[in-house]
């Protein structure tokens, strides 16, 4: 999977990483090519656009890390964005199947690979997690589909609910539930009927089954080869029955991969597994890190930049600590702190970074300081000259006006920032003088 996209992107980045210095135009050209590559891989336009914009934002705001080239840094940013666009909040492979017997509802269109995937999942749960699994086919319209599940069950040594002619899907679901309880099964998989297209009758039936079974997971099986259609189907099913994840099948084919890249961004639902063949053992957990690595094919560069960034951050932190020990704290220090806080997800970050800052962090939280506020403060500092940053005491009315205007904010905003800086600087001075900072730092280590 992703061969074409991977080829296209590695072409773009090979050229980029070879260059020593990068101009804005170089980056812009590369990103334009990335965008085209994504669109050709059938990634939806808004997702591709958003992707490129995020990379651009990060690339421009990035601190220059020693020992890697700018091109390598861009590769890392693209990698991280790929992970971001692929990843859901859930751990894809971990299904909610405690509290036996746990029902899992399998839904999807006919021909998507639903029955095969049900068997694949049953096999995985049995072999890898040692679960006792029961499978039931609810496809009352197609006796052949029921037979197919029974045959697969036989092959993989997983029990299937005996077929009783004339029962409705809801009746079968009830029987499966009873059988799963009585038989001491950990999990039971309900393979619902598919149709060729989404229609009301199908959705009503799936909803009725859902209400009876009360599933812990509802997995939508979609054909990865259908590209954006797969994403649309997922959005429809989610709206009508509510899904907890997606299984993309036929990812062994030469599909363009766009469905995988757009799924989470468009539907908000994570891809949990991918089907990589017709056999019952070809189901893989969808791992964003690995997939991103596979798409970019530049694992070495990503690792290199990660290491360089860690070194860089460690050096920066050490430099800052040395300044704190001397009781020094100028606008550059404040900016570094604000950036760190943004990265660490808000005010909480500050508490860990600095002794004595806990109180201030709490106050800021109460005052409703958020990421936007942090970004504004950073913009204000960026709008200062080098001299002003190292010595904010020189800021008089005209300078203040210029700085505030440069950041698109008011002088009042700047005054608030200056006040905050002063409080922190005073505290640093006090701590630094008494040798308390050293003590505090030692305690933190």
Binding-site residue set = 108-115, 191-195, 249-252
Number of residues that bind ligand GDP (CB under 6 A): 17
- Is 114 a residue that touches ligand GDP (CB under 6 A)? yes
* Binding segment toward ligand GDP, per CB under 6 A, in 4-12, 103-111, 233-241, 338-346: 103-111
Binding residues for GTP: 108-115, 191-195, 249-252
113 binds ligand GDP (CB under 6 A): yes
Contact indicator for 189, 165 with CB cutoff of 8 Å: no
The single residue among 276, 347, 404, 414 that binds ligand GDP, judged by CB under 6 A, is 276
> What pairs with residue 271 in β-bridges?
246
Distance of closest approach, residue 386 Cβ to ligand GDP, in angstroms = 58
Quote the DSSP letter at residue 410: -
Nearest 5°: phi and psi at 54? -65, -40
DSSP track, 314-325: HHHHHHHHHHHH
Residues 331 and 392: their CA atoms lie apart, in Å, by 7
Query: Whole-number minimum distance, CB 151 to ligand GDP, in Å?
Result: 11
The residue (of 65 and 116) whose beta carbon lies closer to ligand GDP is 116
Rounded to a whole number of angstroms, the minimum distance from the CB of residue 279 to ligand GDP is 8
Q: How many whole angstroms from its chain centre is CA 387?
A: 40
- CA–CA dist 83, 99 (Å, integer): 32
245 binds ligand GDP (CB under 6 A): no
Contact present, 394 and 388 (Cβ < 8 Å): yes
Shorter beta-carbon distance to ligand GDP: residue 114 or 123? 114
Cβ–Cβ under 8 Å, residues 17 and 72? yes
Cβ neighbours of 393 (radius 10 Å)? 10
157 touches ligand GDP by CB under 6 A: no
* Token code pair at residue 338: 């604000």
CA pair distance 383, 252, nearest whole angstrom? 51
Query: Which alpha helices (H) appear in 62-142, and where do they start and end?
Result: 70-86, 114-129
Q: Is 143 in the site for ligand GDP (CB under 6 A)?
A: no
Copy the structure tokens of residue 386. Answer: 């080098």
Regarding 346 and contact with ligand GDP (CB under 6 A), the answer is no
C-alpha to C-alpha distance for 242 and 234, rounded to whole angstroms: 10
Residue of the chain from 194, 215, 327, 349 that contacts ligand GDP (CB under 6 A): 194
Site string for ligand GDP, 159-178 (x = CB under 6 A): --------------------
Under rule CB under 6 A, residue 110 binds ligand GDP: yes
Cα gap 202→200, rounded to integer Å: 5
CB-count burial class (<10 Å; 0-12, 13-18, 19+) for 398? exposed
**Is residue 232 involved in binding ligand GDP (CB under 6 A)?**
no
> Which of 155, 172, 154 lies closest to 163 in space, CA to CA?
172
Please tell me whether residue 250 binds ligand GDP under the rule CB under 6 A. yes
Name the segment binding ligand GDP (CB under 6 A); options: 109-117, 174-182, 307-315, 391-399.
109-117
* The one segment of 54-62, 245-253, 397-405, 415-423 that binds ligand GDP by CB under 6 A: 245-253
Least spacing, CB of residue 252 vs ligand GDP, in Å: 5
User: Which of these ranges, 23-31, 248-256, 341-349, 358-366, lies near ligand GDP under the rule CB under 6 A?
Assistant: 248-256
Stretch that binds ligand GDP, among 157-165, 167-175, 244-252, 287-295 (CB under 6 A): 244-252
Shortest distance, position 314 Cβ to ligand GDP, whole Å: 44
57 counts as binding ligand GDP under rule CB under 6 A: no
Min dist CB 230 to ligand GDP, Å, is 13
Q: List Cα–Cα distances, 337 to 225, 287, 288, 363, 444, in angstroms.
A: 47, 33, 30, 16, 17
If the CB atoms of residues 77 and 231 are measured against ligand GDP, the closer one turns out to be 231
Looking at the Cβ atoms of 54 and 142, the one nearer to ligand GDP is 142
Q: What is the Cα–Cα distance from 376 to 395, expressed in whole angstroms? A: 18
Closest approach of ligand GDP to the CB of residue 113, in Å: 3
Window contacting ligand GDP (CB under 6 A); options: 77-85, 108-116, 157-165, 178-186: 108-116
Task: Provide the minimum distance between the beta carbon of 60 and ligand GDP in the complex, in angstroms, as a whole number.
Answer: 40
Cα end-to-end span (Å), the chain = 46
**Residue 305 structure tokens:** 């930049």
Q: Which of 230, 213, 240 is nearest to 271 (CA)?
A: 230
Tell me how far, at minimum, the Cβ of 130 lies from ligand GDP, in Å.
24
Quick one: which of 288, 247, 295 has its CA closest to 271? Answer: 247
Q: Where along the sequence are the contacts to ligand GDP (CB under 6 A)?
A: 108, 110-116, 194, 249-250, 252-253, 275-278
């Amino acid at each position: 999977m992703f061969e074409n996209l991977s080829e296209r992107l590695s072409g773009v980045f090979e050229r980029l990483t070879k260059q020593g210095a990068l101009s804005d135009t170089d980056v812009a050209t590369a990103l334009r090519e990335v965008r085209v590559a994504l669109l050709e891989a059938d990634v939806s336009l808004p997702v591709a656009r958003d992707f490129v914009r995020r990379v651009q934002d990060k690339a421009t705001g990035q601190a220059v890390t020693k020992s890697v080239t700018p091109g390598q840094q861009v590769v890392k940013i693209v990698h991280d964005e790929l992970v971001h666009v692929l990843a859901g909040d859930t751990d894809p492979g971990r299904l909610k199947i405690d509290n036996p017997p746990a029902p899992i509802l399998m839904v999807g269109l006919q021909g998507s690979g639903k029955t095969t995937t049900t068997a694949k999942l049953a096999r995985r749960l049995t072999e890898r997690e040692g679960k006792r699994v029961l499978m039931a086919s609810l496809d009352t319209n197609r006796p052949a589909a029921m037979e197919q599940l029974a045959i697969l069950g036989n092959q993989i040594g997983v029990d299937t609910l005996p077929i009783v002619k004339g029962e409705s899907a809801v009746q079968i679901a009830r029987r499966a539930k009873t059988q799963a309880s009585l038989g001491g099964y950990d999990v039971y998989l309900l393979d619902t009927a598919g149709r060729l297209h989404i229609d009301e009758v199908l959705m009503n039936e799936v909803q009725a089954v859902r209400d009876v079974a009360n599933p812990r997971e509802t997995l939508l099986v979609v054909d990865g080869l259908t590209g954006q259609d797969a994403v649309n189907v997922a959005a429809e099913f989610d709206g009508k029955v509510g899904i907890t994840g997606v299984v993309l099948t036929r990812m062994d084919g030469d599909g363009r991969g766009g469905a995988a890249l757009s799924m989470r961004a468009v539907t908000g639902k994570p891809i949990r597994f991918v089907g990589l063949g017709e056999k019952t053992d070809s189901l893989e957990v969808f791992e964003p890190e690995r997939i991103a690595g596979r798409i970019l094919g530049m694992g070495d560069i990503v690792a290199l930049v990660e290491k360089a960034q860690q070194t860089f951050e460690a050096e920066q932190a050490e430099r800052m600590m040395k300044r704190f020990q001397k009781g020094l704290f100028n606008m550059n220090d404040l900016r570094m702190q604000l950036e760190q806080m943004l990265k660490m997800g808000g005010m909480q970050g500050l508490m860990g970074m600095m002794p004595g800052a806990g109180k201030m962090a709490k106050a800021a939280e109460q005052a409703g300081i958020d990421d936007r506020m942090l970004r504004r403060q950073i913009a204000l500092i960026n709008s200062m000259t080098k001299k002003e940053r190292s010595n904010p005491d020189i800021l008089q009315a005209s300078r203040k006006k210029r700085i505030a205007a440069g950041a698109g904010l008011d002088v009042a905003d700047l005054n608030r920032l200056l006040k905050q800086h002063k409080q922190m600087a005073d505290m640093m001075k006090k701590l630094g003088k008494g040798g308390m900072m050293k003590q505090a730092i030692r305690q933190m280590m």
